[in-house]
Amino acid sequence: MTDALDDFYAIIPAGGIGSRLWPLSRADAPKFLHDLTGSGSSLLRQTWDRLEPLAGPDRIMVVTGRAHRVAVESQLPGVADHNIVLESEPKDSTAAIGLAAAILHRREPDVVIGSFAADHVIGDARGFRRSVREAVAAARAGYITTIGITPSEPAIGFGYIHAADESLGAEGATTAHAVRSFVEKPDLKTAKKYVANGSYLWNAGMFISRADVLLAEIGRTEPELLAGIEELAAAWDTSARGAVVDRIWPTLKKIAIDYTVAEPAAAAGRMAVVPGDFDWDDVGDFASLAKLQSGGRKNNLAVLGDNARILADSASGIVVSQSNRLISLIGVEDIVVVDTPDALLVTTSANAQRVKGVVDALKVSGRDDVL
């Protein structure tokens, strides 16, 4: 592929169950395996297709759970066996991305890696790839780089990145800026200030860096975690892999890469951000899914499901149907109905974030049969 970057390797962490999309998203069929856009491709497949022109099919690594290997290989027949990293249990993003980076660093010491979630929706693939190319250029200069999304509204469901006003001046990365800080999810008043300021971007969790630079940052904040990752990577391409994974993986600290890499690197002046002007959505709950399905139009009823049977009169919101049941909606606004063979969810867009609480309650009560 003539446009692929020679020193770049893409990493797709495909984990998590997307609990705010329950009961559509389950432990055995998580969000990234679903087609949530009506395109005919799962979110995982769409992620692969966005990255393939940048890295080539032989330079994309997928990190996923052992239970999802068959589904991932079915959806990504082009993924090489040596590019599938299987987790025995979830350990959050530092372990997943760090292990992939350590494996690739041993195979290719100067490699630049980029981590991109498997379950996000991006409308402008060309714009995305332009931003990634700039981020790779900044990474070559030694920065840990992220792509921040230009806010379209004062969203309170995302973290924010505070970018410095001046450009880094890195060759090939004309729009890259230093990161002043990462900011947790704000309240509405604060989010409005951020958007009006113009220096704040949504944190989309995309990280691009030289593998050695990323690993060094993990070592500064979590030396024991890095030691475990390095021991795993040393055994990965050997016959000892299975025994080492079984011994080391359960002991790894469960912590997000925001805390081990992004925040401390920003505080030390080692973090850069490239503004991304492309449409982006993390499809974090059914309210965002409804907006995605309706194209952002209000007073519409979005319907997801190949065999959905819906009768609606003066109704808006979203219906997700995986059964043959007839669903009739009359005079309801911003409703969320998710109908599966063994579970039914009814809520509103305003309460969509609270669905995770249902999942937590089911776990506490031992109702694993519907998780």
DSSP 49-96: HHHHHHH-GGGEEEEEEGGGHHHHHHH-TT--GGGEEEESS--HHHHH
For the chain, give the longest Cα–Cα distance. 63
Residue 248 main-chain phi, psi, to 5 deg: -95, -45
Q: Which band of pLDDT confidence, cut at 50, 70 and 90, is reported for residue 295?
A: low
Confidence of residue 47 (pLDDT cuts 50, 70, 90): very high
State residue 33 phi and psi, 5-degree precision.
-90, -5
pLDDT on residue 18: 84
Across 187-210, average pLDDT: 95
Q: Which residue has the higher pLDDT, 18 or 64?
A: 64
Provide the percentage of residues in the chain whose pLDDT is more than 90.
Answer: 82
Q: Percentage of the chain with pLDDT > 70? A: 98
pLDDT of res. 351: 94
Q: What is the mean pLDDT of the chain?
A: 93
Q: CA neighbours within 13 Å on the CB side: how many for 215?
A: 24
User: What confidence tier does 1 reach under pLDDT thresholds 50, 70, 90?
Assistant: very low
Region 302-326 average pLDDT: 91
pLDDT at position 235: 97
pLDDT exceeds cutoff 50 at 101 = yes
User: Which of 276, 248, 278, 232 lies closest to 121, judged by CA?
Assistant: 278
Using DSSP, state whether 27 is helix, strand or coil: coil
Q: How confident is the model at residue 3 (pLDDT cuts 50, 70, 90)?
A: confident
The overall pTM is greater than 0.85 = yes
